[in-house]
Structure 1
Amino acid sequence: MTTARDVMHRGCECVGINENLAHAARRMAELDVGALPICGEDNRLKGIITDRDIVVKCIAKGRNPNEVKAGDLFEETRVWWVDADADIDEVLHQMVEHKIRRLPVLENKELVGIISQADLAAGLPEDKVGELVEAISSTSH
């Protein structure tokens, strides 16, 4: 059985809820990623911030990324995640059902990795990849 642990990016780094967006953007550039999980002061997952969020919700609105905190951008909504031992079909189900491109992976309530659409596509049969891309692309976040 293939699990979330088998396809995830390990050692996923969080941006703190009180860190500014300039810092988050620099970390994304350094890590060559388009998104970072947001963690609270309790080191628990609170949300995800993307490079697009920084552009659309901050820069395009004339706000200063040195003054806007990561926690200011994400809505207090349910954060979808999957357990590290979850079957790959559960990962696919979560991403399709919630129309998300990135899914944090938790183990014992700690963030241990993240799965992107590309990570999942690499481990799926071709027909399921098409299903995934179509479902997520229709109205993705």
Structure 2
Amino acid sequence: MNAGALCTRDVVTCAAGDTALDAAKLLRARHVGDVLVVDERDGARVLRGIVTDRDLVLAVIANEVDPASVFVADLMSEPLVVALETDGIDHVLRRMRLHGVRRVPVTNALGELVGVVSADDLLDAIATLLDDLRRIGIRQTLFEEKGRT
């Protein structure tokens, strides 16, 4: 399985010139924990950065800064930890661990935004693989019993 198959493609995006308040309203309206900052170029979304709910809390709220006075460009994480859609999930997981991030934007070979992979997405995929592995023994027993009758 690769990042392109695993990623959530319906992502929330904003522009670098949007405010922290705009980003917070997007997070609330879409029930997500991150907003990807993009530039629109020739109909393609080119990734610039990411702002998480944690970024908003630590940089804006905890510092008692007016969220309408701070631009997303000032909050977004750069340089980004990015995965290519062809990267395997083991590679994505190692990058997340190495950089201490829970979300990794996914791009195609042209650098266009494809989606985002979260730690929860990886947990779900790995849990499914482990469950499939567990079922091998069950199926083996069923086939053995069937062969004896």
Q: By the TM > 0.5 criterion, same fold? A: yes
Task: Report the 3-state secondary structure (helix = DSSP H, G, I; strand = E; otherwise coil) of the residue aligned with 2:36.
Answer: strand
Among 123, 126, 135, the alignment partner of 1:124 is 126
Aligned ranges for residues 18-33 of structure 1 at < 5 Å?
18-33=17-32
- Aligned residues: CA RMSD: 2.0
Cα displacement string for residues 4-62 of structure 1 (whole angstroms, at most 9, x for unaligned residues):
12211113232211100111011111111111112246543222111121122112212
Cα displacement string for residues 68-87 of structure 1 (whole angstroms, at most 9, x for unaligned residues):
11111235x42110111211
TM-score (structure 1 length as normaliser):
0.79
Aligned ranges for residues 60-79 of structure 1 at < 5 Å?
60-74=62-76, 77-79=78-80
Query: What is the match of residue 84 of structure 2?
Result: 83
Q: Which runs of 5+ in 1 are unaligned?
A: 129-141
Conservation of the 8 A alpha-carbon contact between 1:12 and 1:111: no
Aligned amino acid, residue 109 of structure 1: G
Aligned amino acid, residue 81 of structure 1: V
TM-score (structure 2 length as normaliser):
0.75
Query: What is the match of residue 3 of structure 1?
Result: 2
Query: For this pair of structures, how many residues does the alignment match?
Result: 125
Distance in 1 (CA, whole Å) between partners of 2:102 and 2:48 is 17
Task: Report the 3-state secondary structure (helix = DSSP H, G, I; strand = E; otherwise coil) of the residue aligned with 1:12.
Answer: coil
Conservation of the 8 A alpha-carbon contact between 2:12 and 2:34: no
Query: What is the match of residue 140 of structure 2?
Result: none
Structure with the largest fraction of helix:
2
Do residues 39 (structure 1) and 47 (structure 2) align? Answer: no
Identity %: 30
Rg bigger for which structure? 2
